[in-house]
């Protein structure tokens, strides 16, 4: 667990055009890091680069989709070409969906895993040779509170983040011999456009009004963890409380989750019960 100064470090941020990723790029550049920003939209990357350079920051960009092998290789080539290597990889790119599992299509879950898990793991894989040669190297995986405690109507997104957590814990030990830290940051509900970019929104309850932390606050907390060498960070008071209660009394979370679902589907439950009674007559 290395402490590190961000000034001069070479940092790649995926999913950098919006939300937490964008805030990470801006904040890291302010602290003197040399940042490579990767995202699918070249237009948004150009706007980000102009902002960072106007403030005196160092930034390069690469249009890339983490789900595509050729784009992952393009990120490696960009890091080598512009900075001669990489010190910190921040795997931030992600997509989501809400709704109950039984109402979703298989391809939605696969698309989420392609970005949130396989995109993350394979981006990590291609950058390991560079990171092994880096200065106080680290991999930062942006997960979620629901990657520590799953909630109803978030099963698809939550399962991908649980996978990220498991992967991170395993490679943390594997990469210790190479001096590479593996840090997991689990934000709670954050004020971003994430919900607008979801593949599906079928949840009966929308949680946007509960989004507390700003992208800038998440970025600051993430970079602080990177500086201090903290390996597992959970954000927001409600997020920490959920994880704490689930650790010692998971039945409490289960109870209230089931209770809320029954309330939301009261009409459906009553109709099913009515049909069952009619069959028994």
273 — phi, psi (to 5°)?
-65, -40
Are 165 and 150 in contact by the 8 Å Cβ rule? The answer is no
Q: Which residue from 35, 146, 30 is spatially nearest to 94, judged by alpha carbons?
A: 146
Q: Which residue from 154, 153, 159, 148 is spatially nearest to 244, judged by alpha carbons?
A: 148
Are 133 and 83 in contact by the 8 Å Cβ rule? The answer is no
pLDDT above 70 covers a percentage of the chain that reads: 88
3-state secondary structure of 39: strand
Residues forming the active site: 157
Architecture of domain 10-248: 3-Layer(aba) Sandwich (3.40)
Q: What is the pLDDT along the chain (281 residues), one digit of tens a residue?
A: 678 999 999 999 999 999 999 999 999 999 999 999 999 999 999 999 999 999 999 999 999 999 999 999 999 999 999 999 999 999 999 998 888 878 888 899 999 999 999 999 999 999 999 999 999 999 999 999 999 998 888 889 999 999 999 999 999 999 999 999 999 999 987 655 555 556 556 555 555 544 468 999 999 999 999 999 899 999 988 899 999 998 999 899 888 888 887 877 677 766 777 667 666 66
Residue with tokens 């649980």: 162
Buried b (16+ CB within 10 A) or exposed e, 25-37: bbbbbebebbbbb
Q: What's the CA gap between 160 and 154, in Å, rounded?
A: 10
DSSP secondary structure, 219-260, as one string:
HHHHHHHHHHT-SEEE-SHHHHHHHHHHHH-HHHHHHHHHHH
Tokens of 196: 């607008």
Sign of the dihedral defined by the CA atoms of residues 105, 109, 111, 112, in that order:
positive
- List the Cα angle 72/5/86 in 5-degree steps: 20
Alpha helices in 84-119 (DSSP H): 106-113
pLDDT recorded at residue 274: 67
The residues facing 36 across adjacent strands are: 12, 60
For the chain, the domains span 10-248, 250-281
For 61, residues 6+ apart whose C-beta sits below 8 A from its C-beta are 16, 36, 37, 38, 39, 42, 45, 46, 48, 49
This prediction's pTM: 0.88
């Amino acid at each position: 667990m290395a402490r590190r100064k961000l000034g001069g470090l070479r940092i790649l941020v995926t999913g950098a055009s919006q939300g937490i990723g964008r805030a990470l790029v801006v904040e890291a550049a302010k602290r003197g890091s040399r940042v490579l920003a990767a995202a699918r939209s070249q237009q948004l990357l150009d706007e980000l680069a102009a902002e960072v350079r106007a403030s005196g920051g160092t930034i390069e960009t690469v249009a890339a989709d983490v789900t595509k092998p050729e784009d992952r290789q393009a990120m490696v080539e960009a890091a080598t070409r512009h900075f001669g290597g990489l010190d910190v990889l921040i795997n931030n790119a992600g997509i989501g969906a809400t709704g109950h599992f039984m109402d979703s299509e298989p391809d939605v879950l696969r698309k989420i895993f392609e970005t949130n898990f396989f995109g993350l793991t394979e981006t990590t894989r291609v950058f390991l040779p560079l990171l092994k040669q880096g200065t106080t190297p680290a991999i930062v995986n942006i997960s979620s509170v629901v990657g520590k405690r799953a909630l109803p109507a978030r099963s698809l997104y939550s399962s991908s983040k649980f996978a990220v957590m498991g992967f991170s814990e395993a490679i943390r030990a594997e990469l210790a011999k190479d001096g590479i830290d593996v840090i997991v940051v689990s934000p709670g509900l954050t004020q971003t456009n994430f919900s607008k970019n979801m593949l599906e929104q079928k949840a009966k309850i929308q949680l946007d009004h509960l989004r507390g932390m700003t992208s800038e606050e998440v970025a600051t907390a993430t970079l602080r963890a990177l500086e201090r060498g903290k390996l597992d960070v959970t954000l927001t008071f409600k997020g920490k409380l959920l994880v704490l209660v689930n650790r010692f009394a998971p039945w409490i979370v289960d109870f209230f989750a089931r209770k809320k679902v029954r309330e939301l589907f009261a009409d459906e439950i009553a109709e099913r019960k009515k049909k069952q009674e009619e069959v028994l007559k």
